[in-house]
Amino acid sequence: AQTVTQSQPEMSVQEAETVTLSCTYDTSESDYYLFWYKQPPSRQMILVIRQEAYKQQNATENRFSVNFQKAAKSFSLKISDSQLGDAAMYFCAYSGGTSYGKLTFGQGTILTVHP
Protein backbone atom coordinates (compact mmCIF):
# COMPACT_ATOMS: atom_id res chain seq x y z
CA ALA A 1 0.00 0.00 0.00
CA GLN A 2 1.09 3.52 -0.68
CA THR A 3 1.94 5.81 2.20
CA VAL A 4 2.51 9.55 2.38
CA THR A 5 4.42 11.15 5.23
CA GLN A 6 4.60 14.79 6.20
CA SER A 7 7.12 15.03 9.02
CA GLN A 8 6.47 18.68 9.90
CA PRO A 9 3.25 19.07 11.90
CA GLU A 10 3.74 22.84 12.03
CA MET A 11 5.83 25.41 10.18
CA SER A 12 6.03 29.18 10.35
CA VAL A 13 7.36 31.86 8.03
CA GLN A 14 7.64 35.62 7.96
CA GLU A 15 5.61 37.47 5.38
CA ALA A 16 7.55 37.87 2.08
CA GLU A 17 9.97 35.08 3.02
CA THR A 18 10.25 31.58 1.53
CA VAL A 19 9.23 28.34 3.21
CA THR A 20 9.52 24.71 2.17
CA LEU A 21 7.12 21.98 3.28
CA SER A 22 8.37 18.40 3.15
CA CYS A 23 6.65 15.26 1.91
CA THR A 24 7.88 11.74 1.30
CA TYR A 25 5.95 8.83 -0.13
CA ASP A 26 6.34 5.14 -0.63
CA THR A 27 5.13 3.27 -3.70
CA SER A 28 6.05 0.44 -6.02
CA GLU A 29 4.17 1.96 -8.95
CA SER A 30 5.91 3.72 -11.81
CA ASP A 31 2.91 5.74 -13.00
CA TYR A 32 1.51 8.10 -10.39
CA TYR A 33 0.59 11.67 -9.55
CA LEU A 34 1.42 13.88 -6.60
CA PHE A 35 -0.55 16.83 -5.31
CA TRP A 36 -0.43 19.58 -2.74
CA TYR A 37 -3.77 20.76 -1.34
CA LYS A 38 -4.35 23.80 0.85
CA GLN A 39 -7.04 23.85 3.53
CA PRO A 40 -7.68 27.31 5.04
CA PRO A 41 -9.81 27.75 8.17
CA SER A 42 -12.89 27.77 5.93
CA ARG A 43 -12.27 23.99 5.57
CA GLN A 44 -12.32 24.20 1.77
CA MET A 45 -9.82 21.89 0.01
CA ILE A 46 -7.97 23.85 -2.68
CA LEU A 47 -5.59 22.28 -5.19
CA VAL A 48 -2.26 24.12 -5.11
CA ILE A 49 -0.10 22.15 -7.53
CA ARG A 50 0.09 18.81 -9.33
CA GLN A 51 3.06 16.76 -10.52
CA GLU A 52 2.99 13.81 -12.90
CA ALA A 53 5.68 11.27 -12.06
CA TYR A 54 6.79 10.72 -15.64
CA LYS A 55 7.59 14.42 -16.03
CA GLN A 56 11.10 15.28 -14.88
CA GLN A 57 10.44 19.01 -14.85
CA ASN A 58 9.25 20.35 -11.52
CA ALA A 59 5.77 21.88 -11.57
CA THR A 60 5.31 25.57 -10.78
CA GLU A 61 2.22 27.70 -10.19
CA ASN A 62 3.05 31.35 -9.62
CA ARG A 63 4.67 31.55 -6.14
CA PHE A 64 4.34 27.80 -5.57
CA SER A 65 6.84 25.27 -6.87
CA VAL A 66 7.80 21.72 -6.08
CA ASN A 67 11.06 19.84 -5.78
CA PHE A 68 10.24 16.36 -7.09
CA GLN A 69 12.97 13.82 -6.38
CA LYS A 70 11.63 10.59 -7.85
CA ALA A 71 14.48 8.32 -6.76
CA ALA A 72 14.31 9.61 -3.22
CA LYS A 73 10.48 9.60 -3.29
CA SER A 74 10.39 13.15 -2.07
CA PHE A 75 7.95 15.89 -3.07
CA SER A 76 8.46 19.19 -1.26
CA LEU A 77 6.48 22.39 -1.74
CA LYS A 78 8.22 25.76 -1.84
CA ILE A 79 6.19 28.91 -1.23
CA SER A 80 7.98 32.09 -2.26
CA ASP A 81 7.11 35.62 -1.15
CA SER A 82 4.77 34.22 1.52
CA GLN A 83 1.52 36.09 2.08
CA LEU A 84 -0.84 36.19 5.04
CA GLY A 85 -3.40 34.38 2.90
CA ASP A 86 -1.05 31.40 2.58
CA ALA A 87 -1.70 30.49 6.22
CA ALA A 88 -3.48 27.14 6.15
CA MET A 89 -3.12 23.41 6.57
CA TYR A 90 -1.23 21.89 3.63
CA PHE A 91 -1.70 18.29 2.58
CA CYS A 92 0.52 16.25 0.32
CA ALA A 93 -1.35 13.54 -1.60
CA TYR A 94 -0.56 10.60 -3.89
CA SER A 95 -2.63 8.98 -6.62
CA GLY A 96 -1.56 5.83 -8.43
CA GLY A 97 -1.97 5.64 -12.19
CA THR A 98 -4.54 2.87 -11.98
CA SER A 99 -6.27 3.88 -8.74
CA TYR A 100 -9.35 5.61 -10.20
CA GLY A 101 -8.13 8.95 -8.90
CA LYS A 102 -8.16 7.86 -5.28
CA LEU A 103 -5.89 10.01 -3.13
CA THR A 104 -3.72 8.93 -0.22
CA PHE A 105 -3.06 11.91 2.01
CA GLY A 106 -0.27 12.82 4.38
CA GLN A 107 -1.01 13.98 7.91
CA GLY A 108 -0.85 17.66 7.02
CA THR A 109 1.36 20.62 7.95
CA ILE A 110 -0.06 23.74 9.56
CA LEU A 111 1.59 26.83 8.09
CA THR A 112 1.56 30.08 10.06
CA VAL A 113 2.54 33.32 8.34
CA HIS A 114 3.79 36.12 10.60
CA PRO A 115 3.35 39.75 9.49
Partner 1 sequence: NAGVTQTPKFRVLKTGQSMTLLCAQDMNHEYMYWYRQDPGMGLRLIHYSVGEGTTAKGEVPDGYNVSRLKKQNFLLGLESAAPSQTSVYFCASSDGRGRRRNSPLHFGNGTRLTVT
Q: Which residues bind partner 1 (CB under 8 A)?
A: 4, 6, 9, 33, 35, 42-45, 47, 50, 91, 95, 97, 99-108
Identify which of 23, 21, 96, 22 has the alpha carbon closest to the alpha carbon of residue 54. Answer: 96
Give the nearer residue to partner 1 in terms of CB position, either 16 or 47: 47
d(C-alpha 47, C-alpha 31), whole Å: 20
Q: What is the smallest separation between the CB atom of 14 and partner 1, expressed in angstroms?
A: 26
The distance of closest approach from Cβ of residue 45 to partner 1 in the complex, given in angstroms and rounded to an integer, is: 4
Contact 107, 5 (CB under 8 A): yes
User: CB of residue 95 vs partner 1: minimum separation in angstroms?
Assistant: 5
